[in-house]
Amino acid sequence: MIEFRDVSKVYDHNGNELRAVDHVTLKVDKGEIFGVIGFSGAGKSTLVRMVNQLEKPTEGNILVEGEDLTKLSKPEVRRVRKRIGMIFQHFNLLESKTVRHNVGFPLALVGTPKRVIQKRVTEILEFVGLEDKADQYPEELSGGQKQRVGIARALATSPDILLCDEATSALDPETTKSILQLLKRVRDEYNLTILMITHEMNVIKEVCDKVAVMEKGAVIEQGTIFELFSNPQHQTTQNFIRSVIESDIPASILRGIEKRGAGRHIYRVTFVNETAGEPILSQVSKRFDVDVNVLFGQITELQGIPFGHLVVEIQGEDKEIVKAIDHIQSAVTVQEVYSHAG
Amino acid sequence: MQVNLIDFWPRILEATYQTLLMVGISLLVATLIGLPLGIALVVTKQGGLLENNSIFNGLSAVVNFFRSIPFIILLVAILPLTRLIVGTSIGTAAASVPLIIFSAPYIARLVESSLLEVKTGVIEAAEAMGATPWQIIWRVYIPEALSSIVLNLTIATIGLVGASAMAGFVGGGGLGDLAISYGYQRFETDIMVVTVLLLVFIVQATQMVGNLLSKKAKRQ
Ligand SMILES: Nc1ncnc2c1ncn2[C@@H]1O[C@H](COP(=O)(O)OP(=O)(O)OP(=O)(O)O)[C@@H](O)[C@H]1O
Ligand SMILES: [Mg+2]
């Protein structure tokens, strides 16, 4: 659907060349929500802006549905842009126009008859839940509502692709959640392909199917969200993941374990893309003669599936513990953190 | 010799009409020149929609050139040109020529600054929708900047009222001419006061109407 082939973007910074995007190769499939995460200045905006040619790549090719955008003339670029919606961090709505006019704007640009615009605007405002705000002006709306207008406007022409440049970065966590849910619905109902960039891992965690991590213009790691969360290779990726789920055992707990370590069996149980949830632990204590104590842990949800880990202490006879671990291992990953034969 | 103010009213009314006419004509023509010029400055600027360094630099230099000539000098220096255009160098129409040349580049700069207030993000959003540069000018730049343009045109109008007093003195006609030739040169204080009051009223009314229209333009 969207394909970056060895794409670079070089800016001239007072004679020095600045590689905003550095040899990026990516593929976003149809109907996918693809996230790009990176720190400020990583080149994320530059990357998405090349998809609708707001920026021209210095090297490489960008293909949208097999069509190479880098080879298009200006009018052809405008034609392609009509199939690509975009939403922005600061919404970028026309302040002098009502919500209705803002949403109808891209349709008016292509000379759509007024009646058709009217009908489509009503329909799409209903979809984003703003039908009662049609005649208000952007400055009368909250940030979340403005972004809904932005989304409605982007969808008005029924595009195939939606680009989101930090679409939730100006919003509070609750509003962010509702906008992300809306974007999910957009994908599900319209089968859109969404490319979103963000510097917040919880946004990625919430809605993305795949993710690429960018640093200094380059994509340093990419994969499905589970691949990345369960096996992050790069330090930056690990840091991002740590921002939503803590994987290290806190120092206070570690100290406690070390102080009274003799005879304790402590394990880290990791849930990755596996159906078992916490019940496995209670099952174990029922089925075997062991007690399971949760010392620390964090479980979150990735695409509706629990993901995370628990640090547990298993108490009981060594023989029973071995059996219990075997059982847990049949469902999820278990790793020994600390064990000291008593 | 004392002039009776009552008998003098028709003269004052005529002068008021001449002032309004001068300001009206100059504003209209100067806007017709200044608005496209201001738009051209913005779109040809570096990073603009139709970036073009040589056009931008050329236009900018012309605008700066006319903006740097003091009005009183422009007024006299332009007399031959006025005669060429209007056929005479006196009268209300003749007085409008220097006023237009004076205010068109000023309006161009005012329009330029109004358009630059439009957030680049909004322009970019329109570009991302596949709008042509022409559509962006008419459907984004102008409507979004309209409120500010109106306010700036109000400023230009008030400037024109002041300048028209001078232009009238050279070309003949208007309240300024009246104030100077009777009030100042013949010590008719009454007439001086009345004309000044009228000018004050015109300026106040202009600002009021300008504010009102500008507010209206905010929400279209
Ligand atoms: N038009 C430009 N001219 C010159 N340099 C630019 C331009 N646009 C971006 N850059 C540079 O390219 C680099 C990447 O910028 P970009 O905006 O893509 O980063 P980003 O990842 O989106 O950051 P943020 O999270 O702050 O938005 C930065 O160093 C920036 O200064
Ligand atoms: Mg950015």
Instruction: Give tens-digit pLDDT for A215-269.
Output: 999 999 999 988 888 888 899 998 898 888 777 777 777 777 777 666 678 888 8
Of all residues in chain A, the one with the smallest CA distance to B119 is A92
Across the interface, do A92 and B139 touch by the CB < 8 Å criterion? no
pTM of this prediction? 0.86
DSSP codes of every residue in A160-173: SEEEEESTTTTS-H
CATH number of A251-340: 3.30.70.260
* Dist. CA A49 → ligand 2 center (Å): 10
* Residue A229, phi then psi, degrees to nearest 5: -70, -35
* Residue B127 forms part of a structural domain: yes
* Residue B131 forms part of a structural domain: yes
Residue A319 CA to residue B79 CA, distance in Å, equals 112
Residue percentage of chain A with pLDDT more than 90:
62
pLDDT in tens, A153-191: 999 999 999 999 999 999 999 999 999 999 999 999 999
Nearest to B129 among A95, A96, A109 (CB): A109
Residue B143 CA to residue B119 CA, distance in Å, equals 13
Q: Specify whether the CB–CB gap between A101 and A112 falls below 8 A.
A: no
Higher pLDDT, A110 or A273: A110
Domain that holds residue B113: 9-217
Q: Whose CA is nearest to atom 30 of ligand 1?
A: A41
* Residue B46 forms part of a structural domain: yes
Tell whether the model's pLDDT for residue A114 goes beyond 60. Answer: yes
Location of each CATH 3.30.70.260 domain in chain A? 251-340
Q: Specify whether the CB–CB gap between B179 and B195 falls below 8 A.
A: yes
* pLDDT score recorded for residue A341: 41
Q: Specify whether the CB–CB gap between B49 and B116 falls below 8 A.
A: no
* Residue B132 forms part of a structural domain: yes
Across the interface, do A78 and B143 touch by the CB < 8 Å criterion? no
- The mean pLDDT value of chain A amounts to 88
Ligand 1 atom, smallest distance to A45 CA: 22
Going along chain A, which residue ranges are E strands?
2-13, 16-28, 33-38, 59-64, 67-68, 84-88, 161-165, 193-198, 210-215, 218-224, 265-271, 290-302, 305-316, 333-339
Q: Specify whether the CB–CB gap between A168 and A151 falls below 8 A.
A: no
The residue whose CB lies within 8 Å of the most ligand 1 atoms, and thus the one to mutate among A4, A7, A16, A18, is A18
Tell whether the model's pLDDT for residue B73 goes beyond 80. Answer: yes
B41 exposure class (CB count in 10 Å sphere: 0-12, 13-18, 19+): buried
pLDDT in tens, A52-81: 999 999 999 999 998 999 999 999 999 999
What CATH topology corresponds to A2-242?
Rossmann fold (3.40.50)
Across the interface, do B125 and A88 touch by the CB < 8 Å criterion? yes
Tell whether the model's pLDDT for residue B184 goes beyond 90. Answer: no
- The complex scores an ipTM of 0.85
User: What's the number of domains chain B is made of?
Assistant: 1
Give the binding-site residues of ligand 1, using a 6 Å CB cut-off: A 11, 18, 20, 38, 40-46, 199
Nearest to A109 among B119, B121, B135 (CB): B135
Location of each CATH 3.40.50.300 domain in chain A? 2-242
